[in-house]
Chains A and B, each alone.
Chain A
């Protein structure tokens, strides 16, 4: 019940296309859903996050869509660029300001080809 599922495992997108990564969770106590971006040799960087009281959050080219009833959320990267090539992790936590650990999905390796 503590798991966060993520798909696809890897994704190849043409430059300018839309990258979509999907995640699902079981524990309804999760209250904060961040996405992390990790480049090779670097630590994960917080990219964008959402709480379940909103259905969508957009920051630049990155949008999170959230479906509370289905317990699913997704990351959309619009106008994907080669510089977006990285591993993306969805995650879930009991609270944004937690005091509690973050549970990570298995990750999606994104390659944006010119």
Chain B
């Protein structure tokens, strides 16, 4: 399986500020996704991070609020912009691998965000 790291692991931010979350994978992967998981809830897909092009956003999520970059096959960032307390959540990076040795979708450890 792929080893996925996220930075920061947690943060407390003030309303109106922005936070950029980084996701690094130890091997090249085909797809990278960003999910949100509110406490005690299931995972909701925010967007698919496309290498070298604009991310594909799910209904209810927009680029101005959650800009995403993916400059190469192993790295992506998610920015949570103009934060409000409603953005307090766990943000998870996920990848789909390449080749038979990395099958299925794997998740990073998550970034726990609290907005005050």
Contacts and interface: CB of A to CB of B under 8 A. Distances in A.
A34 B110 contact: no
Please report whether the interface of chain A is mostly helix, strand, loop or mixed according to DSSP.
Answer: loop
Interface in A16-60: 34, 36, 41-46, 49
A44 B44 CA distance: 13
A1 interface: no
Contacts of B4: 43
Interface residues of B, number: 23
A84 to B, nearest CB: 19
Contacts of A34: 104-105
Contacts of B103: 96-97
Please report whether the interface of chain B is mostly helix, strand, loop or mixed according to DSSP.
Answer: strand
A101 B48 contact: yes
Interface in A84-99: 89, 93, 96-99
B104 A44 contact: no
B106 A46 contact: yes
12 contacts: A34-B104, A43-B92, A44-B92, A96-B104, A99-B30, A99-B31, A102-B45, A102-B94, A102-B105, A104-B43, A107-B41, A107-B42
Interface of B: 1, 4, 30-31, 33, 41-43, 45, 48, 58, 92, 94, 96, 103-110, 112
